[in-house]
Structure 1
């Protein structure tokens, strides 16, 4: 009810422990706080906040147009409602290394369990599109060192994303991942790896946890959780899955409403009022209210 029952520090500690367990953590992407509640109830191990989803929610393309204020506010709203750890996409850190340092502290204050910082050049592009560029390795390392030096909670997870694979090949991605881990990254996010064999090679290349991005319509084969576990992946994100499904339903519903002049044919496919109230914990709020306030009028 209201906020998570756990403090941000407790969620970060739990995330650290889960990463150290060696098991695979599944983090679907939440497009709002309500979807984060659904992810929690469905039994997943964490929540992901995608930069692409946040941009799309603002009707903007994912090319670095969002600000730290927008990202931290929305990510904090999502982290607030769930006992699960929330990992957020912090793009390139929203500026130079000093900006990256501030980004980490702002995201800590917002209640996030961790974030990933990427090595693309600004303005960035979606990691599964062509035409992107990466900064030289020394610049990428400065971003990660700034992030690691700025955090105040040692359990806040700093994940380094590299987009080198699509530009220079797997070997270059492995070399950069090693350097990023040495610079202080707690986890490596190798973007746009092609298949299970490449994830297995990345697993062998670094000693820190690795993250797999199973986004639809991208360059990576959509691998099952069983396969990802077998090759040693620690975290898998499904960043845009729920938003794509939701917007597909929205688009179809608008077509039906325009054609039929009524939503009657759609009602059976909707989440019911009762189901929504159950997800929100509506009864818990009503019960709490009766313990602190009586609506009965009493004349004084």
Structure 2
């Protein structure tokens, strides 16, 4: 799991409304709508769950420790979607116990390896990588329209890329994958019968619908951007150069946490 920096999280809790209006302008959908689309639920179902679910966010100190602002950002996103979330006063096991004792049905917690939402009554674990991949495919569908039959390049065959590629296949897209680790890309392509691209520069000239799930910066340059290009970019850091970003700005969805957490929440609270 890519470790976020506190700088990327600065301001999330106070700028969610601005972020959501920008997301709506670009995609025609709000954060809430995109998360519901990714999870396959209705907003009415989510409203019902919000009235009966309490969410605990547990600070975890293991590994490299707590990222400043992380728990606050997660709590703010959960609250923004209409749920009641609290950050436990205690950390680690004591925090988990506190969350359960205070009546939480869903627990959010992260260490250096995994970021998960655990629904205690349903005994369900939703991983951020799975939710992020699905959430960004839903955002891409809103940007592009119907993805059925559309050729989509997924850059990065890690956990988020795998999730996105599977979600694209479910929508009937023609998926091709690229990863700098060719073995990883070949395994994913063979497992799901995806196309395989071995040269990124050549592939970027062929495709206009992109999922950038790579942790590499500046891999998408201005020369790769066409008038029809749309990009959903869950990768941290953003893989587009500054010039490429300026050319595709209104057809680009990228954030450090919002879509992933929102989709985690919706996937975890509803028994789908």
Flag whether TM exceeds 0.5 (same fold): no
Q: Which has the higher contact order (CA 8 A, sep 6+)?
A: 2
* TM-score, length of structure 2 as denominator length: 0.30
Q: TM-score, normalised by structure 1?
A: 0.28
